[in-house]
């Protein structure tokens, strides 16, 4: 060529650092490790959800990998950024990993912000009724992602801000998401102030923590969409009608194409939200995360519904994994607010929300 | 992974922002009036002359040879300043960089990039739309020239173009995809008639049709070899589907910012439904900004001319049409005979799911070339 283009090494020599939103080599390796674990030990059929031996192995593998400690304190900063945590959240969701990650990661981040020592046993967080925010009282609160957790954290008011309290958590029997449990709390229980806290949590802390929660649940929704689209495409290639695979018909192809495109758009906003957690000021991180969560919540429901439709009658039976993805998406969407709540956050950040939010 | 500006990027952003304060031509919203198109060429030249166009293209053709992510910063700042978007020429440049000889590249690329020569693209015909390869325009050799006969339609900028990238049939004895060749044809000659087409929003200076009746083109203006036309066309249309090449992020964000200003000025005048439409348009436009950031980062190690453009085109279409709905909801249709800008933004948005390959064609490509679904 008579003209010259930049190569990667040329860019590095000439420009040093650069806006570059690709995963680093370390981040790609982390993703590959998570992919391997969940592909090997995650449920591959509805019947396998009840396979305790498999579940125990998955729990042991996640525990050994240390992924739930990514947001613990490492010399004044989290051990890993929101990007690494989001990578794990996405892969576990893609493979329907029925193992706690979101709750313990969010609890660890709260402890870090409050200057409290890391939990000695599995711990999660309590969300207010409706799941749209961190709970400030036990009554009506729900501990998310609660399997295996002895305790769950919530906020209590103190002078100048908030402190953390812990309450006993026991999973209730009936679950929407078949891969993760939500525990209703004993209304008579009282939260005990968590010992060892060295900092009062400010509103900015809660905002930044909420941004992390939105970024992680957005990443989960992307993972769910990937898993669901893969499931739908596999089925469309195998299932035959009129003598041909149904995936050869444009009507079916276009449904799956739209689902894939919605997932790709969601992936782009999810990456930014995960980066913003530690790189932007709390209000801006929250605005970015709210955009991402609103977009992905709307997309994920459409994608999962599409995959049920592509499966036809089978898709409406308990034994098809399609509804397991949809159910997981419903919980991921509702944790810290889905499309509506986050659209309101976006409008408020842009200065065009209603006085009391949209009605 | 880093969405933030590096120091050089931040300095570039500051320099660009200062320049835009003094050099924003304040044209009407893109593609909504003939005044916009009347000012488009001067805007291109002004942007280029100041060093703010062709950020990532080779210096040899007039570019700045900067990393691709500088295009993201350019779009950000154009939108923030309410300036017109950058000229949408990336697809032509990428096509010619990929398939043109050094001679073709040297003769034509600098003029495209610096805005001194205007181009249009003669692909679609009245009977060859989605089925582009069935096109019937003929190019027949005659001495050192080819003679072009045929009818091209949906030809954007044909009214001002100096050159037309014509896809024509040079061989009727081979399968339809294999008999096509691509030529750079001068629009300034007697064998060409250009007719404007009026779009549904009333503008007449963007869209046209071109009739070739014995127009001549030197054989040296063929891009690639005889029969290579389809490959070139596929490269061109794959990039025509990429918001990163088109610079449309700035276009959408400018409209969204203007609509948000209207609501902020008088929130009580708008109901929740109108504001929600705007909120979704804001979210969609931000999604596309971040998506382009991702795609252009993927190019830091070299360009791919693959089917991802179809994903991008479908995303871009959903953004443009959400922005169009917000323009109608917040700006209003203008039934009182007042400002018709927002109506025209809305009406123009309907073309996005057709131009550059319909959304149905894009879905076919995503399904078969990315998802691996069987062809029927």
Instruction: Provide the shortest C-alpha distance from residue B256 to chain A (in Å).
Output: 11
Among B291, B302, B371, B375, the residue to mutate for chain A (most A Cβ within 10 A): B371
| pLDDT attached to residue A8 | 62
A161-168 and A183-184 as β-strands: parallel, antiparallel, unpaired? unpaired
- Check: CB of residue B249 under 8 Å from CB of residue B292: yes
Per-residue pLDDT, B369: 96
Is B294 in contact with A257 (Cβ distance < 8 A)? no
- pLDDT given for residue A115 in this prediction: 97
E-strand spans in A79-182? Answer: 123-127, 142-143, 151-158, 161-168
**Active-site residue numbers of B?**
240
- pLDDT at position B211 is 98
pLDDT in tens, chain B (376 residues): 899 999 999 999 999 999 999 999 999 877 788 888 889 999 999 999 999 999 999 999 999 999 988 999 999 999 999 999 999 999 999 999 999 999 999 999 999 999 999 999 999 999 999 999 999 999 999 999 999 999 999 999 999 999 999 999 999 999 999 999 999 999 999 999 999 999 999 988 888 999 999 999 999 999 999 999 999 999 999 998 888 888 899 999 999 999 999 999 999 999 999 999 999 999 999 999 999 999 999 888 777 878 999 999 999 999 999 999 999 999 999 999 988 999 999 999 999 999 999 999 999 999 999 999 999 7
A21/B3 touch (CB, cutoff 8 Å), yes or no:
yes
Per-residue pLDDT tens for A288-326?
A: 999 999 999 999 999 999 999 999 999 999 999 999 999
- pLDDT at position B245 is 83
**Of chain B residues 214-233, which have a CB less than 8 A from chain A?**
none
Domain B7-96: give its CATH architecture: Orthogonal Bundle (1.10)
Out of B72, B363, B375, closest to residue A254 by CB: B363
pTM: predicted TM-score of the whole model, two decimal places = 0.95
Percent of chain B with pLDDT over 70: 100
Q: Tell me which of B70, B290, B362 to substitute to probe the interface with A (most A C-beta atoms closer than 10 Å).
A: B290
Domain B236-370 in CATH 1.20.140.10: yes
CATH of B119-226, one of 2.170.150.20, 3.30.413.10, 2.40.110.10, 3.30.70.20: 2.40.110.10
Q: How far is B375 from chain A (nearest CA, A)?
A: 5
The answer to whether A209 contacts chain B (CB < 8 Å) is no
A144 min Cα distance to partner chain B (Å): 28
Q: Alpha-carbon distance A177 to B294, whole Å? A: 31
B338-365: per-residue pLDDT in tens?
Answer: 889 999 999 999 999 999 999 999 999 9
Which candidate from A21, A250, A269 shows the least CB-CB separation from B2?
A21
Give domain A204-349's CATH number out of 1.20.140.10, 3.40.50.410, 3.40.720.10, 3.40.50.300. Answer: 1.20.140.10
How large a percentage of chain A has pLDDT more than 70? 95
CA angle A172, A177, A180 (to 5 degrees): 65
- DSSP string for B321-336: HHHHHHIIIII---TT
Out of B66, B284, B290, closest to residue A272 by CB:
B290
Looking at chain B, how many residues does it have? 376
Helix or strand run (H / E) with residue B183: strand B180-186
CB contact under 8 A, B374 and A237: yes
Whole-angstrom distance, CA of residue B63 vs CA of residue B114:
9
> What pLDDT score does A357 carry?
52
DSSP code string of B28-62 = PSTTSSHHHHHHHHHHHHHHHHTT-S-TTS-GGGT
Q: Are A183 and A143 in contact (CB under 8 A)?
A: yes
Interface test with A, best of B58, B99, B266, B286 (most A CBs within 10 A): B286
Rounded Cα distance, A209 and A286, in Å = 9
Q: Does A350 lie at the interface with B, CB-CB under 8 angstroms?
A: yes
B-facing residues of A in 237-256 (CB < 8 A) are 237, 244-245, 247-250, 252-254, 256
Q: What is the mean pLDDT of each run of 10 residues along chain A (359 residues)?
A: 76 75 95 98 96 97 98 96 98 98 98 97 96 93 93 96 93 82 87 95 97 98 98 98 98 98 98 98 97 98 98 98 98 97 95 63
pLDDT given for residue B37 in this prediction = 87
A348 → chain B, closest CA residue: B279
State how far residue A100 is from chain B, nearest Cα, in angstroms. 26
Cβ-in-10-Å burial (0-12, 13-18, 19+) of B133 comes to: middle
Q: Which residues of A touch B291 (CB under 8 A)?
A: 264-265, 268
Q: Is B247 left (phi over 0), alpha (psi -120 to 50) or beta?
A: left
For the segment A23-75, what is each residue's pLDDT rounded down to a tens digit? 999 999 999 999 999 999 999 999 999 999 999 999 999 999 999 999 999 99
Does any CB of chain A come closer than 8 Å to the CB of residue B11? no
Chain A residues whose CB is inside 8 A of the B363 CB are: 250, 253-254, 257-258
Selected residue of A11, A19, A359 to mutate for chain B interface (largest B Cβ count, 10 A): A19
Q: Is A29 on the interface with B (CB under 8 A)?
A: no
Q: How many residues does chain A have?
A: 359
Q: Which residue has the tokens 């590095």?
A: A12
Of B298, B243, B308, B102, residue with least CA distance to A1: B102
């Amino acid at each position: 060529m008579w003209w010259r283009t930049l190569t990667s090494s040329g860019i590095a020599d000439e420009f040093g650092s650069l806006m570059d939103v690709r995963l680093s080599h370390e981040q790609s390796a982390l993703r590959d490790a998570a992919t391997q674990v969940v592909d090997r030990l995650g449920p591959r059929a509805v019947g396998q959800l009840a396979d305790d031996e498999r579940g125990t192995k998955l729990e042991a593998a996640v525990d050994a990998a240390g992924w739930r400690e990514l947001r613990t304190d490492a010399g004044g900063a989290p051990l890993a950024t929101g990007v690494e945590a989001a990578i794990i959240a996405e892969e576990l969701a893609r493979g329907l990993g029925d193992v706690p990650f979101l709750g313990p990661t969010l609890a660890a981040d709260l402890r870090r912000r409050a200057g409290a020592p890391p939990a000695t046993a599995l711990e999660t967080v309590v969300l207010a009724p409706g799941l749209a925010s961190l709970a400030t009282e036990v009554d009506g609160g729900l501990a998310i992602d609660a399997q295996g957790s002895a305790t769950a954290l919530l906020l209590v008011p103190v002078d100048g801000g908030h402190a953390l309290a812990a309450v006993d958590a026991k999973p209730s029997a009936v679950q929407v998401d078949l891969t993760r449990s939500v525990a209703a709390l004993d209304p008579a229980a009282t939260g005990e102030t968590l010992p060892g806290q060295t900092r009062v949590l400010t509103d900015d802390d809660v905002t930044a923590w909420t941004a992390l929660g939105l970024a992680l649940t957005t990443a989960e929704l992307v993972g769910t969409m990937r898993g669901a689209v893969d499931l739908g495409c596999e089925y469309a290639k195998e299932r035959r009608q009129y003598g041909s695979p149904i995936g050869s018909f444009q009507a079916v192809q276009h449904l799956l194409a739209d689902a894939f495109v919605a997932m790709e758009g969601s992936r782009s906003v999810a990456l930014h939200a995960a980066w913003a957690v530690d790189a932007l000021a709390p209000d801006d991180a929250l605005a970015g995360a709210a955009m991402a969560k609103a977009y992905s919540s709307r997309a994920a429901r459409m994608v999962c519904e599409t995959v049920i439709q592509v499966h036809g009658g089978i898709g409406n039976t308990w034994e098809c994994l399609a509804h397991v993805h949809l159910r997981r998406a419903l919980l991921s969407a509702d944790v810290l607010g889905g499309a509506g709540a986050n659209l309101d956050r976006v409008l408020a950040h842009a200065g065009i929300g209603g006085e009391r939010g949209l009605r | 992974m880093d969405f933030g500006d590096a120091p050089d990027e931040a300095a570039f952003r500051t320099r660009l922002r200062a320049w835009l304060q003094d050099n924003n031509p304040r044209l009407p919203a893109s593609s909504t009036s003939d005044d916009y198109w009347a000012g488009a060429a001067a805007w291109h030249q002004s942007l280029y002359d100041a060093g703010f166009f062709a950020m990532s293209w080779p210096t040899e053709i007039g570019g700045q040879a900067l990393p691709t992510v500088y295009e993201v910063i350019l779009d950000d700042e154009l939108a923030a300043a309410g300036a017109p978007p950058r000229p949408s020429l990336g697809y032509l440049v990428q096509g010619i960089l990929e398939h043109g000889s050094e001679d073709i590249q040297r003769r034509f690329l600098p003029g495209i990039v610096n805005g001194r020569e205007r181009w249009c693209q003669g692909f679609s015909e009245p009977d060859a739309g989605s089925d582009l390869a069935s096109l019937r325009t003929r190019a027949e050799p005659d001495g050192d020239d080819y003679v072009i006969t045929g009818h091209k339609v949906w030809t954007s900028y044909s009214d001002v173009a100096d050159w037309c990238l014509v896809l024509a049939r040079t061989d009727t004895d081979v399968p339809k995809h294999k008999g096509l060749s691509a030529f750079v044809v001068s629009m300034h000659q007697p064998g060409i008639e250009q007719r404007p087409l009026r779009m549904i929003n009333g503008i007449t200076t963007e869209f046209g049709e071109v009739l070739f009746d014995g127009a001549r083109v030197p054989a040296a203006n063929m891009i690639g070899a005889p029969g290579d036309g389809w490959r070139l066309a596929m490269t061109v249309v794959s990039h025509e589907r990429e918001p990163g090449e088109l610079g449309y992020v700035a276009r959408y964000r400018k409209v969204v910012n203007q609509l948000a200003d209207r609501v902020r000025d008088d929130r009580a005048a708008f109901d929740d439904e109108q504001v929600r439409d705007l909120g979704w348009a804001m979210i969609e436009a931000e999604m596309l900004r971040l998506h382009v950031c991702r795609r252009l980062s993927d190019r830091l190690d070299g360009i791919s001319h693959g089917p991802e453009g179809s994903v991008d085109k479908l995303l871009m279409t959903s953004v443009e049409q959400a922005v169009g709905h917000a323009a109608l909801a917040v700006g209003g249709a203008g039934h009182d005979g007042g400002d018709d800008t927002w109506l025209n933004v809305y009406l123009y948005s309907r073309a996005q799911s057709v131009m550059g390959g319909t959304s149905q064609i894009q879905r076919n490509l995503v399904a078969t070339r990315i998802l691996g679904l069987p062809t029927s």
